[in-house]
Amino acid sequence: MPILPIDTGRYGTPEMLEIFQEEKWVQRMLDVEAALAWAHGEVGDIPREAAEKIVEMASTKHVRVSRIKEIEKEIGHDVMALVKALAEVCGPSGAYVHLGATSYDIVDTARALQLRDAVDIILRKLDSLELILMKAAEKYKETIMIGRTHGQHALPITFGLKLAVWMREVSRHIERLNGCKKRLIVGKMSGAVGTQAGLGPNALRVQELVMKRLGIKAAEVTTQIVQRDRHAELICILAMIGSTLDKMATEIRELQRTEIGEVYEPFRRERQVGSSTMPHKRNPELCERVCGLAKVLRSLVIPALENVPTWHERDLTQSSSERFIIPEACILTDYMLHLMIGIISGMEVDEDRMLKNLKLTRGLIMSEAVMLALVRKGMGRQEAHELVRRLAIKSRSEGTGFKKVLMEDETVRRFLTEREIDSALDPRRYLGTAVEQVEKAILKTVEERRARGLEE
C-alpha cells in the first residue's frame, strides 16, 4: 500500500522512479552475481557450463522478488535470500552462486550501477536547464529592471544578468557532478574485510573481469564496503543543486508577488485552480513545491555524512539510512529539475511592469550615479555621498521627485547642469557591463557545452 508521496506518484519522474523500483534493484544485484559467476568461469575457478547457467538464470523472470521475500522471512538476511533464490533456479550450478563474495560486494556494486543511471539522468536534466537559462539570458540580456538588495530597490540591472548568474551556477553543478561521478561509480569484489581472501589466487583478476563486464571501475582499496565518503559527496552535491533551485524558485516567487508582478511561473488559464476558495488566486505553487522539497533534500546531508564513520571494517549503521537517503536524494533532485525546466521554459515576463517599478522611487535608485557625477566634476567622494544622502532623505520624506530636489539644491547646481542631472538619472545609462557580462557568460557556457559533446 503506497504511503509516502513518492510511492503514490505525487513526486518523481517515471524514468527516475523506474531506476529505484524494487524489481529493478533486484535485477541489478542479479547482474552482479551473474558477472561474478562469469568471471570465475573465465579464470577457471568454476566450470564454464555452471557459469553460463547462472548468467542465464540471473533474471527476475526466473528469480521472483516474491520468492526472495519468502526466504528472507525465514533467514532474516536479504542478500542471502537473493543468493538462495538464484541458486534454486540454477540446479546443480547453483552451488557456485556467490562464490568468494560478501553481501556488500553485491550491494555496493549494484548500487554503483543504479547510481550510474540516476546520475546520468540528473546530468541530462542539468544540461537542459543550463540551455534553457542560456537562451533566456540571451533573450533578456537588455531587459532593464530594478536590482534589489535587502529586499529594497538598489540599482538598475537586466533580467538577463539575473538569469546568467543562475546559468553559471548550474554550470558549476554540472562540473561538480561529473567530477563526483568518477569517484562514485565504483564496485568491488573484496570479500568480508577487503582482503579478497575468499576469492582465492585469481581474486584481482576476478574483480577486474566483473567490473569490465558491468562497465564500471573497481574501487582502489576497500574494507567490507565501498567507503561512504563517495556517497556523501553525491548527496552533498545534490543538496547544493537543490539549494540553487530553491534560490531560483524563491526569486520567481518574490517577483510574482502582487506588489511586484514582474515574473510569473506558468499558469494553465483554461483549467488550473489557484485556490479552493479565492477564484482570483494565481499562486506560485510550482516554485513553492521546489522550495519545500529543497528542505527535505538538504536534510539528507546529515545522515549521508554520518554514514562515513564505521566500526572497524564495517557495521550496519549505513545500511538502513541509505535505503532512504539515496533513492530520495536522486528522485527529489531529478523531480525538482523537471519542475524548474518547466518553470523557466514557460515563465511570463512583464517588461512593462519592470519599467514601471523602476520609477517607484521617483529617481532615488540613481543616487549613486548622481554622486559619481558630482565626483567627476570635482567634488570629493565623501562630500558627494553625504550631500546626495541628505537630498535622498529629503526627496523621500517630502514625497518630491529626486530630480526636483537636485535641481533646487545650490551645491548640486554649481557642479551639474540640468542635462547632466538628467543623464545621471537615466537608468539605461547606468547598466555598466551588465550586457557584456551576460554575453561573456553565455560564450563560456557554449564552450563548456561543446567540450561536453553538446551542440549548443
Catalytic residue among 77, 275, 299, 345: 275
Give yes or no: 150 in active site.
Answer: yes
Give me the CATH number covering residue 14: 1.10.275.10
What CATH number is attached to the domain comprising 308?
1.20.200.10
Summarised one tens digit per residue, pLDDT across range 46-85 is: 999 999 999 999 999 999 999 999 999 999 999 999 999 9
Q: Give yes or no: residues 126 and 59 share one domain.
A: no
Burial degree of 276 (CB within 10 A; 0-12, 13-18, 19+): exposed
Q: How far apart are CA 178 and CA 454, in angstroms?
A: 15
| Model pLDDT, residue 439 | 98
Q: What is the 3-state secondary structure (H, E, C) of 277-297?
A: CCCCCCCCHHHHHHHHHHHHH
Residue 224, pLDDT score = 97
Regarding whether 381 and 315 lie in a shared domain, the answer is no
Examine the pLDDT at 272 and tell me if it is beyond 70: no
Q: Which of 40, 59, 62, 150 is catalytic?
A: 150
pLDDT in tens, 277-322: 555 567 899 999 999 999 999 999 999 999 999 999 999 999 999 9
Distances (CA, A) of 293 to 60, 148, 299, 426: 33, 26, 10, 42
Bridge partners for 152 per DSSP: 149
Structural domain count of the chain: 3
- Segment 350-364 shows an average pLDDT of 97
pLDDT tops 60 at residue 276: no
The answer to whether residue 149 sits within a structural domain is no
Q: Are residues 383 and 456 in the same domain?
A: no
Q: Is 39 inside a domain boundary?
A: yes
What is residue 283's predicted lDDT score, i.e. its pLDDT? 87
Q: How many CB atoms lie within 10 A of CB 8?
A: 11
Residue range 400-455, pLDDT digits in tens: 999 999 999 999 999 999 999 999 999 999 999 999 999 999 999 999 999 999 97
Asked whether residue 293 falls in the same domain as residue 414, the answer is: no
Please check whether residues 303 and 352 belong to one and the same domain: yes
The mean per-residue pLDDT over the stretch 124-144 comes to 98
In contact, 331 and 6? CB cutoff 8 Å: yes
> Mind listing the pLDDT tens digit for each residue in 183-211?
999 999 999 999 999 999 999 999 999 99
Residue 200 lies in a domain: no
Which DSSP string do the residues of 324-349 spell out, in sequence order? HHHHHHHHHHHHHHHHHHHHHHH-EE
How is residue 239 written as a grid cell? 543538496
Q: Mean pLDDT across the stretch 384-408?
A: 96
In the annotation, is 280 catalytic? Answer: no
Neighbours of 28 (CB within 10 A): 20
Tell me what the pLDDT averaged over the chain comes to: 96
Host H or E run for residue 381:
helix 381-398
Angle at 384 between CA 380 and CA 390, to 5 degrees: 150
Q: What is the pLDDT of residue 101?
A: 98
Q: Give the range of the structural domain holding residue 92, as residue numbers without chain letter.
A: 1-99
Report the pLDDT value the prediction gives residue 1, as an integer from 0 to 100: 81
| Residue 19 located in a structural domain | yes
Q: Are residues 250 and 299 in the same domain?
A: yes
Residues 371 and 307 in one domain: no
